[in-house]
Structure 1
Amino acid sequence: MQTSLKRVVFGASFFLFTIVASVSGYMLFGWSFLDALYMVVITVFGVGFGEVKPIETPALKIFTMVVIVAGTSSAVYIVGSFLQMVTEGEIQKVLEARRMTKGIESLEQHVIICGFGRIGQILARKLTESEQKFVVIDNDEGRMASAEKRGYLALQGNATDEGILIAAGVKQARVLATVLPDDALNVFITLTTRELNPEVEIIARGELPSTEKKLRLAGANHVVLPASIGAERMAQTIVNPHALDFLREDAGRQDLSDLLAQIDIQLEELTLAAGSPFIGKPLSSMEVRGKGAFVVVAIRKEDGEIVTHPSHDRILHQGDTVILMGHRGDIPKFAQRYAMKRQMYYRGMSY
């Protein structure tokens, strides 16, 4: 495609040079600019009108023949290169579409992503990193071009259409994720998918909490509410900033707090203030008094260093922040019983 474009540019440049050189040549033979330009135009384009002035000298005849050959050749070269460029583009589109279709037809146990917006793009990137096979469906031409540019298998069309889902291999798919920002469309896609493949696992996005029930009734195995997850993450950042620092240390733990929240387990942090009965004692003494209500996952020292997987015999010091994991409600009771300080943060200030 780029080679054909270069040919068009080269031909146009040569044609323009031929016109300028020809006009200049006739003017050197004593013709006016208008007469010279008129002569070049009727000669190059083969109109067939008579010469402006008699061409009698051998030099003028030879020059005119050169103008005819150069002008006609450059014009033909431009047209041919342009047609080649157009033809190559169309052939390339057909071949690309055929390659895409064959690639999708050969897939089994793959993932289908309905919607290539912000969430769909993040999901596709994560699946690529984990070497998962997937197909993207979206009806926006620009987003589909973006998906194809990244090397994804993409199918342009409406994901609510049975034909599009079948073309994407829904009957052989392992998972379908519908991540459109429209709850009604997600419900409809879930219903259609469940009818086409009762065994496929469906993960659906919901904007409103009230939609979760509808999506599950429609056949979704899992419902993800991005707004709720975002609010939960912000709350965790305010309430337990050190716990979030601990999670960010490892990319594999970044979403742990969100997953724990779904099963009523949370990360909490308790600071050993002056007078705490655990100061100067091993970590095991705190775990014993907790009676299995929590698990210590990390300790943040007063200088900011985070110690992961602390040993049971590690001595606790004043100012240490112990990061715990346990059921909601159990840790606050433990902190109140032993007068431990639970840190609450708001806009970067500690109270």
Structure 2
Amino acid sequence: MNRRYIYIFILSTVTILLGTFGYMIVEHLSFFDSLWLTVVSVLTVGYGDIIPLSDEGKVFTLILIPIAIGIVTYSLGVVAASIIEGSISEEAQKKKMMKRINKMNNHFIISGFGRVGEKVFEQLQNDKQQVVVIDEREEVFEQLRHKAYVIQGDATDDSILIQAGVERAKGLVTTLPDDANNVFVTLTVKGMNPNAQVVARAEKDGSEEKLKRAGADRVISPSHIGGIRMAMSILKPVSTDYVDTIFSSNNENYNVEEIQVSGHSSWHNCTIKQLDVRANYGVTIVGVKRGTQFIRNPAAEEVIQREDVLIVLGEQAQLERFEQLV
């Protein structure tokens, strides 16, 4: 607790106790009447039902009231200052946050911070990505404002997306529970930044096609994926547990990375066997994306080409070293 509030409490308590016992002594009043007279005097209410009658009581009141008024004035000043400072501090924090967001490039935006949005946020944070969260609810803003970049507002509003830096963003994940809103957000984002990757949540069966027509690069149905995972958990529990260890946010040492072969890479026209990736780098190439073609479980004789995207599995330190070489 703020020390100033402690001082106010102590001073107020001491003043009321002194006034109460003072009136008991000089006016010979009961404890309750003395307490009543002290409180109405301190608060300058003055009901007049109980008043000091003796000269000693009047002198005591003349001393008590200025002291009490000073304490009350000080208390009101402290409370008012705290409210003003809090408002100013909050406004300053918002401006500081907006300045940092305005400097961001290639960041990610999350629209909606429900159960799905929260998991997306955790995964991106674990991957050390810059993230801006948009949510209408004040409790979400209060929850995140000290540990993340968050904007309180409606993601379907163009001005809110602009505040989040959508024109400079690398991608946006819209996790709103309403499919129509996700379609609207997708259309708006693609209109502002056609190069931004958009991943959209879909709840209804017919919404996936609509979201793709709106421009979504990926459409994810949590209920569909959840159903498949539950079925796989009962049919192939060991395999499911293994996949979970790879994608679990708690497993920071083991990961999957997408690594693009640069145009000047010495690996061009080399086979996976020649590179002996597993022995030399401790990672495994589990897939290759070449243009629109996806090569799953590539053979040892597969030739690596420039601009190929390699899907690589391994420990994080090994993946980072491998990416630098590629």
TM over 0.5: yes
Structure 1 CA distance for aligned equivalents of residues 9 and 126 of structure 2: 46
Counterpart Cα distance in 2 of 1:207 and 1:8: 51
Q: State the partner residue of 1:114.
A: 111
Residues 16/138 of structure 1: CA separation in 2 closer, same or farther (3 Å cut): same
Change (3 A) 1:39 1:190: closer
1: CA distance, partners of 2:95 / 2:172: 23
Q: Which of 138, 141, 144 is 1:144 aligned to? A: 141
Report what 1:194 is aligned to: 190
Residue 94 (structure 1) aligns with? 91
CA contact (8 A) 1:35 1:52 kept: no
Instruction: Map 1:43-122; keep pairs closer than 5 Å.
Output: 43-45=41-43, 52-55=52-55, 63-64=60-61, 66-122=63-119
Does the 8 A contact of 1:44 with 1:67 survive in 2?
Answer: yes
Q: How far 1:20 sits from its partner (Å)?
A: 2.4
Give the whole-Å Cα distance in 2 for the aligned partners of 1:162 and 1:61: 68
CA contact (8 A) 1:12 1:78 kept: no
Shift in CA distance, 187/251, structure 1 to aligned 2, threshold 3 Å:
closer
The structure number with the bigger radius of gyration is 1
Query: Given the superposition, is the C-alpha separation of residues 146 and 228 from structure 1 closer, same or farther in structure 2, using an over 3 Å criterion?
Result: same
Aligned-residue Cα RMSD (Å) equals: 3.0
What secondary structure, in the 3-state scheme, does the structure 2 residue paired with 1:171 have? helix
Tell me, which stretches of 5 or more residues in structure 2 are unaligned?
257-283, 285-295, 298-326
Residue identity matched to 2:203: E
* Residue 178 (str. 1) matches residue 168 (str. 2): no
Structure 1: runs of 5+ lacking an equivalent: 260-308, 310-324, 327-351
Query: What is residue 296 of structure 1 aligned with on the other side?
Result: none
Aligned identity (percent) is 34
Task: Give secondary structure in 1 for the equivalent of 2:203.
Answer: coil
Deviation at 1:173, TM superposition (A): 0.5
Structure 1 pair 51–213 and aligned structure 2 pair: CA distance change class (3 A): closer
- Residue 245 (structure 1) shift: 3.3
SS, match of residue 204 in structure 2: coil
Q: Distance in 2 between matches of 1:252 and 1:21?
A: 64
Amino acid at match of 1:221: D
Report the AA paired with residue 217 of structure 2: N
Q: Note the alpha carbon deviations across 1:170-216, whole angstroms, 9 max, x for none.
A: 10001011111111111111111111111111111111232111111
The partner residue of 2:126 within 125, 129, 134 is 129
TM-score by length of 1: 0.64
> Can you list the C-alpha shifts for 1:262-320, whole angstroms capped at 9, x where unaligned?
xxxxxxxxxxxxxxxxxxxxxxxxxxxxxxxxxxxxxxxxxxxxxxx9xxxxxxxxxxx
- When residues 67 and 110 of structure 1 are mapped into structure 2, their CA distance, relative to the original with a 3 A threshold, is same
Other structure's SS at 1:128 match: helix
Please tell me whether the aligned partners of residues 139 and 158 of structure 1 are also in contact (alpha carbons under 8 angstroms): yes
1:29 and 1:172, CA in 2 relative to 1: closer, same or farther beyond 3 A?
A: same
Counterparts of residues 1-351 of structure 1 (less than 5 Å): 2-3=1-2, 6-33=3-30, 36=34, 40=38, 43-45=41-43, 52-55=52-55, 63-64=60-61, 66-149=63-146, 151-251=147-247
Number of matched pairs: 252
Residue 142 of structure 1: CA displacement? 1.5
